[in-house]
Chain A
Amino acid sequence: MIRRLWLRVRGIAHPGASERDMQDEMRQHIDRATERLMARGLSQREASAEAAREFGNMGAIQEEARDARGSRFVSELGQDVRYGLRVLAKKPTFTIVAVLTLALGVGANTAIFSIVNAVLLRSLPYRDPDGLVRIFFNEPGVGLRDIRFSKPELDDLETGAGVFEDVSPILEGSEIVSGAGQPERVEGVNSSFSYFSMLGVTPQIGRLFGPRDFVPGFAPTLVISDALWRRAYGADPNVVGRTLRLDNDPYTIIGVLPREFRHPGPTVSGDVEVFGAGGFSGEPFPKPLRSTRVLVSAIGRLKPGLTAEQAQVRLTAFANQIRHDFPGDYPPQAQWTIEIQPLQETLVGNVRPMLLVLLGAVTLIVVIVSLNIANLLLARATGRQQEMAVRLSLGASRGRVVRQMLTESMLLSLIGGAAGVATAVGTLHFMLRFVPSSVPRLNEVGVDWVVLTFALLMSILTGLLFGLVPAFHSANAALSSAMREGGRGSGYSTKTGRLRDVLIVSELAFAVILMIGAGLLLRTLRELLMENPGFNPTQVVAANMQLPNPNDPKTDPYLDIPRRATFDRELLRRMKAIPGVELAGITSALPSTNTNPNAVGGIANEGFAIEDRPVESSQDLRAERIRISPDYFTVLRASLVRGRAFTEDDEDGKPLVAIIDESTAQKYWPTSDPLGRRVRFGRDATKPWTTIVGVVKDIKSDGLDIDGVPHIYVSLYQDNSKRLSVVLRTSLPATLLEPQIRHEILSLDPGLPIFNVSSMNAVLDRSLASRRFSAELVGGFAGLAALVSAIGIYGLLAYMAGQRSREIGIRMALGARREDILRMFLRKGVALAGVGLVAGLVVSASTASVMASLLYGVRPHDPAVFLIVPLLLFAIAVLASYLPARRATEVDLISAFREG
């Protein structure tokens, strides 16, 4: 046994040694036979010839002997690889085309997969990430999800529910960093003191929050991100203990986070850079009453060994208990309840459909490319039948020939794959710039062993896909026909022909699927670009601002509505004074930028009551409240359909007024006139009523692809917030205006940053970035697919024309006209295209609904797409058939016969 193993090992380690052994032994056999024959009187030449004849087919015997010894596979592999490389090098055009298309396919696949791997597949980069959940509070009875909650409700979860090891509220928002140079706006998060230990983070410098930092309000300490540490402190190792001013409040830095740490949640824009902590129960927080719901989101860690499903069951029961215990705080019809979702799901769930569609598209591309190469190989295999026949008759087994062919295609696919991976690795960084920033976890994207394994598997699979069929086919065909048919195939052999037809048809079918998908996405994009946003975005420049939110109210110059109104008025006066600005307005929510409604100042669904309607029915009245200045609608050229716009007189102390949009009017006053009706925000019955004075056409406030959310606009001078956007009507570009806007704001208050100064068109465009990205990428792939299949059809017919030149010659000699020949070939191309198109359409029609969530304004079975795509591809197929068909009619009769 050991000896056998040794023999094999030696055979593998030194294939040359045992090979030489065998050669020696057989040569000696022949030598001795020769000597014996010479002794019988034969001449040296006769004797050695006779001895060789007696010995038999040396090549075949050696093959069989190698097989018997078991070392054959390894030695042959090397042989096959060398031979394969020679064959590939001999046909450089074919090899280059194949390798390039494969590199493109595998490269695109690797790149997209590396994103999918980092975003969807890999666990979140925290300690024991499966236990992390996001906590939602819902009122399904009134159709509300993710509502705000109070500190006592959160405490209940930690102490009473029995499923959480830890919970932390998350307060996301922008902070103004001031002190050195221009004020800067950064993203911030405030959480409980256990936030970092829950996530399992260790700092690179200093320490993180712990129980000893506890204060009921905000802790005066701060943890900063690696990026801020480098940017603001030049990576100073002695940063701990230094003071950073956020919204005018001084904080002491206690630690710096590791470079790869990211806050596990959505942000207003960019990564979170400052991390504060607080008790959420003392100043500046309101008294922790059950009904004071000011907290917006929370994460938690489940107790070990508890699955999310088990925890959910207990939480539902727990919520029922709380509702029962505090009936005054939970109206029964709202059905208040608690929901948890794996943190990973809440982070990446919304980009999953897009990424999977992209992965599907690149996979289709690889399949189409493979089919095309299979076709090319099959054509070549037919040309190589003679070679195969010679090999078979010289003693190669059928399996050996198949293996040889497969080695060639594997070589091709591995070279192509390696080129593809190299391209992907080299360009990944560059390509990531085009991925919309709304895709989370992009910082984790990279080529790791999972991605490399995927790429390798992909290459091997493609190699098998395009190598297997031609290999088996040619081995079989060679056995039966090659020697007989001789140097030149006498016709388009039916069996090869049918196989190639099948390949072309499936190639076209896959191309149809890809093109239908691309068509749907591109139509969605077009719909959205054509969508009337309810205003005219051209010649409008917008800039965002945030007023500071210091913890001590005494230091807040923008504490109440009148003070903010004064600021707003002065801001507008200065903006209007900038040369080139015709008109200026302010809004609390710029259209299409509502990325994170949970952030501080983000617009959220608010409950309101309508006068003269029963309180019970007002439970489900919800609308987004937007604060605007009098000229806002004029700046945006939004049209007021009824009533009046706000005026400078709609200010504090005067009767409260509101303007609603048509969706709101439609929803809450479907049959009556809303003008003059009164509404009241919140549940506090002592607050004054607000009178509706106007109705405006819907403005797409939450994004072009979000419809029918009711909005109520209120006057900025009566109700305002600290987050605001300035909109300017001007013919100047944003870049030209930015310094002047900045100058005016800084001279108003040197501590105020502005950010995202851009044209309104650019704002709208940004809101479509993710859709544009996927539509254009899939569209590009679809174009590629159409091109590759056109090449496939062209190649097939051109090959057929070459093979059948003699037949064509005979037909023409017998009186066939050129048109007949042309028609014959066109018919072939059209028939193939027709079958492929129908097959592709059938598959598309039955699977298109998986894309429904990515579409807007277009149905998954959009008739236009399902009509235009096949027509387009059909036209391409006809053109691709016409060119070789015309060449076929130009057959030179004389040479066709002479060669035949």
Chain B
Amino acid sequence: MSRDNPSLFPGTLELIVLQLLSAEPTNGYDLSLRIQAISRDVLNVNAGSLYPALYRLENKGLITAEWTQTAAGRRAKTYSLTGRGRRQLVEQRESWQRFAGALVAILRVS
């Protein structure tokens, strides 16, 4: 899934997308800018990973999309979280934190 960004762990991009969409519904392009901005350009998520990830999430019923007018007055496909997506986010966030905590602990020991 992360053909241009091998450092991204499997499933990470989905988690990021869910997290950002939980803050506010947004479209693909803005989503990619936001990831870049928040991660301070560490995570350079390009379209090749982002769109398949979005479609995968939509197909799983975790997010939903509709065409809306943006503030700039143009049509954009806006994604938002579904109820299932919200529950999934909570679960994934917890398991990710457990995993990251464990990893940090191990790295500190050695």
A contact residues vs B (CB 8 Å cutoff): 1, 3-4, 7, 21-22, 24-26, 28-29, 32-33, 54-57, 60-61, 64-70
Contact = CB atoms under 8 A, between A and B. Distances in A.
Given A21-B77, A54-B46, A56-B4, A26 B51 contact: yes
B77 A1 contact: no
The 9 closest A-B CB pairs, nearest first, are A68-B55, A56-B48, A68-B56, A69-B55, A64-B52, A68-B52, A55-B47, A29-B29, A25-B77
B48 A70 contact: no
Contact of B52 (A29, A33, A54, A65): A65
B66 to A, nearest CB: 11
Interface stretch (B57-65, B87-95, B101-109): B57-65
Contact of B47 (A29, A67, A68, A69): A29
A26 B52 contact: no
Given A4-B61, A25-B77, A61 B47 contact: yes
Contacts of A64: 48, 51-52
B52 A56 contact: no
B61 A56 contact: no
Contacts of B40: none
Contacts of B59: 4, 7, 68-70
A61 B52 contact: yes
Contacts of A28: 27, 29, 74-77
A1 B61 contact: yes
Contacts of A57: 48
A66 B4 CA distance: 19
Given A61-B51, A68-B55, A69-B55, A55 B46 contact: yes
Contacts of A22: 51, 55
A67 B59 CA distance: 10
Interface string B30-50: 001000000000000011100
B20 interface: no
Contacts of B46: 54-56
Contacts of B29: 28-29, 32-33
B15 interface: no
B62 to A, nearest CB: 10
A7 B58 contact: yes
A68 B28 CA distance: 16
Pick from A24, A25, A28 the residue with the most CB of B within 10 Å: A25
A65 B55 contact: yes
A267 B70 CA distance: 88
Given A7-B58, A56-B46, 16 more contacts: A4-B59, A4-B61, A7-B59, A24-B77, A25-B28, A28-B76, A29-B28, A32-B29, A55-B47, A55-B48, A56-B47, A57-B48, A64-B48, A65-B51, A65-B55, A66-B55
Nearest to B84: A1
Nearest to A51: B47
B61 A26 contact: no
Pick from B4, B55, B56, B61 the residue with the most CB of A within 10 Å: B55
A113 to B, nearest CB: 43
B96 to A, nearest CB: 22
27 contacts: A3-B61, A3-B64, A4-B59, A7-B58, A22-B51, A25-B27, A25-B77, A26-B47, A26-B51, A28-B27, A29-B29, A29-B47, A33-B29, A54-B46, A54-B47, A56-B4, A56-B46, A56-B47, A60-B48, A61-B47, A61-B48, A65-B51, A65-B52, A68-B52, A69-B56, A69-B59, A70-B59
Interface string B13-30: 000000000000001110
A3 B63 CA distance: 11
Contacts of B74: 28
Pick from B28, B47, B61 the residue with the most CB of A within 10 Å: B47
Contacts of B28: 25, 29
B100 to A, nearest CB: 26
A54 B48 CA distance: 9
B88 to A, nearest CB: 14
A4 B28 CA distance: 20
A702 B27 CA distance: 90
A70 B59 CA distance: 7
B11 to A, nearest CB: 14
A83 B28 CA distance: 32
Contacts of B53: 68
Contacts of B27: 25, 28
Contacts of A33: 29
B40 to A, nearest CB: 18
Contacts of B56: 68-69
Contacts of B77: 21, 24-25, 28
A808 to B, nearest CB: 46
A783 B64 CA distance: 64
A9 B76 CA distance: 23
B72 to A, nearest CB: 9
Contacts of A24: 77
Contacts of B55: 22, 65-66, 68-69
A54 B28 CA distance: 14
A599 B65 CA distance: 82
A65 B58 CA distance: 11
A54 B50 CA distance: 13
A400 to B, nearest CB: 15
Nearest to A56: B48
A3 B28 CA distance: 21
Contacts of A68: 52-53, 55-56, 59
Contacts of B60: 4
B81 to A, nearest CB: 13
B18 to A, nearest CB: 15
A67 B53 CA distance: 11
Contacts of A7: 58-59
Given A7-B59, A33-B29, A67 B48 contact: no
A56 B2 CA distance: 13
Pick from B4, B29, B56, B64 the residue with the most CB of A within 10 Å: B29
Contacts of A21: 77
A882 B58 CA distance: 63
A50 to B, nearest CB: 13
B41 to A, nearest CB: 13
A7 B32 CA distance: 24
A512 B55 CA distance: 56
Contacts of A4: 59-61
A481 to B, nearest CB: 24
B24 to A, nearest CB: 18
A217 to B, nearest CB: 82
A12 to B, nearest CB: 13
Contacts of A66: 55
A85 to B, nearest CB: 29
A411 B51 CA distance: 33
Nearest to A21: B77
Nearest to A33: B29
Nearest to A29: B29
B2 to A, nearest CB: 12
Nearest to B32: A29
Contacts of A55: 46-48
Contacts of A65: 51-52, 55
A69 B63 CA distance: 12
Contacts of B51: 22, 25-26, 61, 64-65
A31 to B, nearest CB: 9
A26 B70 CA distance: 16
Nearest to A67: B52
A24 B64 CA distance: 17
B83 to A, nearest CB: 11
Contacts of B32: 29
Contacts of B61: 1, 3-4
Nearest to B1: A64
Nearest to A57: B48
A29 B46 CA distance: 11
A76 B58 CA distance: 20
Contacts of A56: 4, 46-48
A25 B76 CA distance: 7
A123 to B, nearest CB: 48
